[in-house]
Amino acid sequence: MSVRQEPDRIAEGVLLSAVKRAEHHKRGEGEGVLLATIVEHLGLRHYSWTTRRVRPQLEALIDAGLLERSRRHGLVLWKLTPAGRRRASPYSALPESPQHRRWREARTLAEQENERAWTVLLDAVEAAEDLLNRPLSASPPSAAWLSIGERVRGASRLLASVTYCLREWQEPHDARADVVPVSEAELRSTGGWDRLAPAVRHGTLGAENG
């Protein structure tokens, strides 16, 4: 859904709502949020066009007593005043939040990768079992054991991440930040799935250390 009612202007309540939600989703509420973050909550790309259109509107909201501006570590931050908080539109007027989009995309990818992740781990375990079933006289060298260990570990990590994103990552709520526990941060990282699965399947994961 587009939040622009006119080509060059965003409705006041929607813009205030974007600032409000950005504040709610930020760790350490009360410090204000960056322009880039506000733009992201508006569902827009952050580049020169949005900066030229959005920033003057934010400045006008300062003059209206609805926003405050501050600096922290050289960065300009924007924050709602109590009046601005009251004037903000409901979150339903905004497009999908960045944190909900990350959750949805990770869940969709996990659904697509679930079967492959199981197969990758099964292949790795079967390869390890094959080595274990060899007689001691034909036992492979130490490098092979290190390599198969990395392969099983990588496959387990892949399936753990897929399982977490599919079943354990709770759907974020617009009213609060989706805070990531340190212990779960790696499980939410889906960026390496495409690299990890072929590597563990072909036994190349960790080969540089073998």
What CATH number is attached to the domain comprising 19?
1.10.10.10
User: What's the structural domain count of the chain?
Assistant: 2
Last residue of a domain, one of 59, 93, 127: 93
* pTM score, whole prediction: 0.81
Domain shared by 202 and 104, yes or no: yes
* Same-domain check for residues 102 and 201: yes
Low-confidence ranges of the chain (pLDDT < 70): 1-8, 27-30, 194-210
Q: What DSSP letter does each residue of 11-53 carry, written as one string? A: -HHHHHHHHHHHHHTSSSTTS-B-HHHHHHHTT---SHHHHHH
Q: Are residues 194 and 109 in the same domain?
A: yes
Q: Which residues pair with 4 in a beta bridge?
A: 10
Diameter over CA atoms, the chain: 83
Same domain, 203 and 122: yes
Position 100 scores a pLDDT of: 97
Q: Are residues 201 and 154 in the same domain?
A: yes
pLDDT at 200: 60
- Let me know whether 115 and 130 are in one domain: yes
- pLDDT of the residue at 48: 74
> What's the pLDDT at 169?
95
The CA distances from residue 23 to 9, 79, 102, 126, 134, in Å, are: 22, 8, 18, 49, 60
Residues 102 and 84 placed together within one structural domain of the fold:
no
Q: Is 52 in the same domain as 115?
A: no
For residue 155, the enclosing domain spans 98-209
Collect contacts of 91-94 with beta carbons under 8 A, ≥24 apart.
91/17, 91/21, 91/174, 91/175, 93/3, 93/11, 93/13, 93/14, 93/17, 94/3, 94/14, 94/17, 94/18, 94/21, 94/41, 94/42, 94/43
Residues 85 and 108 in one domain: no
pLDDT of residue 201: 57
- What's the confidence (pLDDT) of residue 91? 95
Two tokens, residue 82: 């109590």
